[in-house]
Amino acid sequence: MEVRYGLHPSGSNQQYVYRSSGMNTMGTRSDDRFQKGAQEYAAYVEAPEGRLRTDLAFANLQDFLPASQAKEPMSALDVGCGPGLTAVRLVRLGFHVTQLDSSQSMLDLARHAAEDAGIADRVTLECGDATQLANLFPAASFDVVLCHNLLEYVDDPSAVLRGAARALRDPSGILSIVVRNQAGEVLKAALQAGDLAAAEANLTAEWGVESLYGGRVRFFTPARLRAMLEAESLALVAEYGIRVLSDYLPHQVCRSSEYARILDLERKLGSRPEFAAVARYTQCLARRTENAA
């Protein structure tokens, strides 16, 4: 594998790493939808439903972030970082954040987000394939690893979890995962689209169609995710539902002006198992077990 370190092509001072494993010219398995659709995705994460997903996941994570013990900043790895909004929040909490993505367009957006926030010196951008995590970073190098809304798109989600477990510094480090919840897809098809056939099909579907890009997206059940974590020596410490009812609110509830109330209600619903079970997304927080490799 070739590794080249240098300044970003734009000339900014941000640290930038190119890695090549001969897979394509960028050295990554870039998914075309995330190359061409990066701007569209960035607009989605700024809109109320995208913001809500990010805000809820971050609020849940914050309760488990390790407290800084030393003068050195703690380090976080954001796998499949997309436009990079979560990294900005982590840097503001004192982390140095490494952002990994296979899409050059997403990394460009992440670079702009870091520059706009004035934190470019506290992030490192890497173009690479999340399923190759074990080859990209030394073991035990991060206090926090994020894997939000990524496992749905990779060929081998277990390989990503294995790499994430290996990348965690020790059992006090925290891994946060957000995935599409199969049960939420059943409700979405019925309540949003009124498509009863799709709702019934989604009861057992392992794959669906991404509404933003039209490509395939993997569905998870919380039980399946838990089993995958256990298989990679990761111990579940908390589980939440993300967006239980906000996708189905009637039009008279304004998503923008009532955002704070919706966020507050969603936090309460998502932490109760009976509601979390049917949320659009599942978030799991996990730690490496002592016997992890």
Q: Measure CA of the first residue to CA of the last residue in the chain; give whole Å.
A: 23
Question: What pairing do the DSSP bridges indicate for beta strands 281-288 and 234-242?
Answer: antiparallel
The least distance separating ligand SAM from the CB of residue 53, rounded to whole angstroms, comes to: 7
- In the shown chain, the binding pattern of residues 255 to 284 toward ligand SAM, with x for contact by CB under 6 A and - for none, equals ------------------------------
The least distance separating ligand SAM from the CB of residue 104, rounded to whole angstroms, comes to: 9
Question: What pairing do the DSSP bridges indicate for beta strands 174-180 and 207-209?
Answer: unpaired
Under rule CB under 6 A, residue 153 binds ligand SAM: yes
Helix/strand/coil for 144? strand
The least distance separating ligand SAM from the CB of residue 197, rounded to whole angstroms, comes to: 26
Q: Which is nearer to ligand SAM, 130 or 174 (CB)?
A: 130
Helix/strand/coil for 162? helix
Strands (E), the chain: 2-7, 15-20, 74-79, 95-101, 123-127, 144-148, 174-180, 207-209, 216-218, 234-242, 281-288
Query: For residues 222-251, which are near ligand SAM according to CB under 6 A?
Result: none
Under rule CB under 6 A, residue 180 binds ligand SAM: no
Under rule CB under 6 A, residue 81 binds ligand SAM: yes
What amino acid is encoded at 187 in this protein? Answer: L
Q: Which is nearer to ligand SAM, 120 or 178 (CB)?
A: 178
Residues lying near ligand SAM in the complex (CB under 6 A): 29, 31, 34, 45, 80-82, 100-103, 106, 129-131, 148-150, 153-154
